[in-house]
Amino acid sequence: MTYVDGFVIAVPGDKRADFIAHAEFVDAIFIERGALRVVECWEDDVPDGKQTDFRRAVAATDGEKIAFAWIEWPSKAVRDEAMAGIMDDPRMTGAPSAPFDGKRMIFGGFTPVVDLRA
């Protein structure tokens, strides 16, 4: 069964290119370490909610955009082994600077329970 890591982050709107450069660098390492797919998305239609929303969830400020991403893994075991290796990978020290405040990132691992495809 596949396993999915999900992320939501606030990124300064003028740092979109920096965000993409960082993502492309790091995501290539995820793929090399066994990820099946990495998808990075930039806010297009993210409405403000009445009780909660993506912006409030990550304490986004004026001028920040929401980035939403996920990584698909073949299994949780592959993900766990890959993440341990990624954190120790010396290339990570050469990654482009993350243009966001990682303390406000929401992330977690998920077991799919429904997977419909066209």
Q: Where residue 35 sits, what CATH number does that domain have?
A: 3.30.70.100
pLDDT at 72 (0 to 100): 98
Structure confidence at residue 94 (pLDDT):
84
10-residue block means of pLDDT along the chain (118 residues)?
A: 96 97 96 97 96 96 97 97 90 88 95 94
117 located within any domain: no
pLDDT of residue 96: 86
Residue range of the domain that includes 54? 3-110
pLDDT value at residue 18: 97
pTM: 0.91
pLDDT of 1: 82
Domain assignment of residue 87, yes or no: yes
Other beta carbons within 10 Å of 87 = 8
Neighbour tally for 14: CB within 10 Å: 11
Residue 65 to residues 2, 8, 39, 71: CA-CA distances in angstroms?
Answer: 29, 10, 17, 20
Q: How far is CA 25 from the centre of its chain?
A: 13
59: left (phi over 0), alpha (psi -120 to 50) or beta: left
For residue 86, what pLDDT is reported? 87
Check residue 87 and give its pLDDT.
Answer: 82
**Percent helix, strand and coil across the chain, each to the nearest 5:** 40, 25, 35
For the chain, what is the total number of helices (H) and then of strands (E)?
3, 4
Whether residue 30 is contained in a domain is answered as yes
Q: Are 71 and 37 in contact (CB under 8 A)?
A: yes
